[in-house]
Structure 1
């Protein structure tokens, strides 16, 4: 006891005596019931699995999304402390949404169709980088191919290929979309990525 007549438990705000013991016993009984009940245990396992999946999904996000999401979450946490400045928080949220939309707009998708290897060419990442560098600075190129398995088409072995090209600004994407890109025999269709 100190000079004010308070114990260390009172200073720290801890519950002592019979109430603390009953609360601990109640928690232990509840945990025991959850662990022995198969339905409750399944629900707990599902909850823990969902938390782990969310954490894994967040860790696999790209750096830009993670940084922007973390900034937004941090500002949301600070918002209750800044109740007088509610307009500022709303404006910052709109700013971050606009910034994310701007980054998405700087990515054109360029699909092309290869009927057969003899009829058309395969664009490589280096060729696409060279083609799009005439419209601005190319930050990244990702090429993807998918075989169509349609029995209805006359050529079931067609290959649809597409590439995601990251340019520095949406203006460069607009320039690329408004001009002819690629080989004249097999031109690229340049579409701004819309998501």
Structure 2
């Protein structure tokens, strides 16, 4: 930051004590006039138009911030006081007629100058910190973050999962996987397949190859799609709920073998079941291909 820049003058405003009395509305009005005058689009022939416009914008950001403006006003006061003392010292120097008066003046001047320099440096340091804070605040203004957990959204609350900054019911999320990575699915293809069962809110392709998370708009749509979507016969999909149902939530089925399989699904054998179903689908696809 250029310590000799007068931010009030840059905006065409009075400086010093008169500048300190200006209202935020007056400063904002002056900035709009100056920015319109120096905007690069209106000064295409001026190679320094962009720098001039940025300087006006920087001065405005400092003056509209309460803390930064107060520090800048204090800095101006120190500089004005220094100028006043310099003027008085020059006047005295011209009136001095004796070496004694010159030595007495010189004896006290260093301490005074050192004190003024220390005060100026202290204010200047704090002003620089405030300017850096303002710039960092505007740099990050408007930024949003959207991320998915690296561990399949584990570690979030029991009833919600965070994807893209929107909180969703885990019961609406499906785990989708397939075997042939070279012939894998895209987010658009998965959205097309699952939209047959209801609205698809989001499709998150995981870093792990051959897998994705599909977020349905309702629990009913997720239930309807579970175990139903087959995808391409040459590369079938395995669709499982992201949050398996508890034993008490498992619907009653007529076949004992099917009930035993569902109970196993929510237990420690979940991953083994996923692998076995994927293998069966692969063999079925190969058998169908050979029959052709």
TM-score (norm 2): 0.26
More helix by share: 2
More strand by share: 1
